[in-house]
Amino acid sequence: MPPQTVLVTGASSGIGLATALSLAESGFVVYASLRDLRRGDQLKQEAQQRGLTVHLVRLDATEPESIRDAVDTIVSRSGGIYALVNNAGIIVRGYFEDVDEEEIRRVCDTNLFGSMAVTRAVLPHMRDAGEGRVVFISSTAGRLASPGNSAYCVSKFALEGFGECLRQEVEPFGIFVSLVEPGFVKTELFGRNRNVSRRAEDPSSPYHSSFQRLEQLTDREVRGAVIAPSAVGAVVRDILTTRRPKMRYLVGRRPKLLFALRRYLPGETFDRIWMRELGRRLRSGPKPEGA
């Protein structure tokens, strides 16, 4: 069989970049999409160093015209699209009252509606082929909420529901949908791509002190993160190559332990333990500067 074609969104860095390289290494024809092709230097360099071919294509998940152009280009060159990896995503940090509606909409437009729009564009080609894979890079934050993360959790919780519905609808056509749920991954989402709500940094906010402490704890978690982007890429590769992929894939030892605990404890008991642990960590965490 000829190599199968895969579209990976949000491939300028982190999980998207690692996934694109992993799939190219496994023999797939990979189209890696970026909102700004000028940010593709790292991907091109790493692909060249490994002797791999990765095709870069411009795609902004919030621009219908760019989605259509990208999908048309890929189909005209490759004859179809076997798999879509919806990875493009953004984050806005801040307690809910400090995050305005426009900021929340921006997160949902990319993480949820953008993924929906790209998926809608590729599904007809998968149905015509009678096979396909749609992978959503979700998060443990799509199943378990945490403070200061309301906009991101809203988008990922909704993405999880969409993924479940979509699998039920398209599996009869030979298309499998999977959700990948990593814990903290060493990516730029909490580095240069971290967005903090304007009001969250305002000292007059009633949440300011708590949020500053939360950000320090988050930084510590990210520094200690043991999940590499390549680990997520390896999971995606397995989804695309197994005969019948699962609905959900947790990535990371800690998330697996946490959700195992959640599975065996009564819901209210787990919620109390989780809330108590969050409160303890915030109270015992480092004090913000000037406090």
Residues 6+ apart with CB under 8 A from 270: 261, 262
Q: Give the C-alpha separation, 37 to 282, whole Å.
A: 40
Q: Give the C-alpha separation, 156 to 281, whole Å.
A: 24
Average pLDDT of the residues of the chain: 91
Does residue 290 lie in a domain region?
no
Does residue 105 lie in a domain region?
yes
* Residue 48, both tokens: 């060249």
Q: Which residues are catalytic?
A: 12, 138, 152, 156
DSSP 23-92: HHHTT-EEEEEESSGGGGHHHHHHHHHHT--EEEEE--TT-HHHHHHHHHHHHHHHS--SEEEE------
Does residue 18 lie in a domain region?
yes
Q: What angle do CA 289, 146, 104 make, to 5 degrees?
A: 90
Does residue 20 lie in a domain region?
yes
> Where is average pLDDT lowest: 42-56, 137-151, 170-184, 212-226?
212-226
- What is the domain range of residue 212? 5-284
**Residue 282: pLDDT band by 50, 70, 90 thresholds?**
confident
Q: Is pLDDT at 276 greater than 90 in this prediction?
A: no
* Residue 290, both tokens: 């000037």
CA-nearest of 217, 195, 215, 241 to 6 is: 241
Q: Give the C-alpha separation, 59 to 68, whole Å.
A: 9
CB count, 10 Å around CB of 257?
Answer: 11
CA-nearest of 69, 67, 59, 64 to 32 is: 59
User: Residue 282: which H helix or E strand, with range?
Assistant: helix 267-284
- Residue position matching structure tokens 């609808």: 169
Give the residue-averaged pLDDT of 165-177.
98
Does residue 128 lie in a domain region?
yes
For residue 287, what pLDDT is reported?
Answer: 58
Q: Is pLDDT at 74 greater than 60 in this prediction?
A: yes
Q: Is pLDDT at 190 greater than 80 in this prediction?
A: no
For residue 289, what pLDDT is reported?
Answer: 53
Q: Give the C-alpha separation, 35 to 9, whole Å.
A: 9
Q: In this structure, what CATH number is given to the domain that contains residue 150?
A: 3.40.50.720
pTM over 0.85: yes
For residue 60, what pLDDT is reported?
Answer: 97
Does residue 291 lie in a domain region?
no
Does residue 210 lie in a domain region?
yes
Does residue 24 lie in a domain region?
yes
**Number of domains forming the structure of the chain:** 1
CB count, 10 Å around CB of 220?
Answer: 12
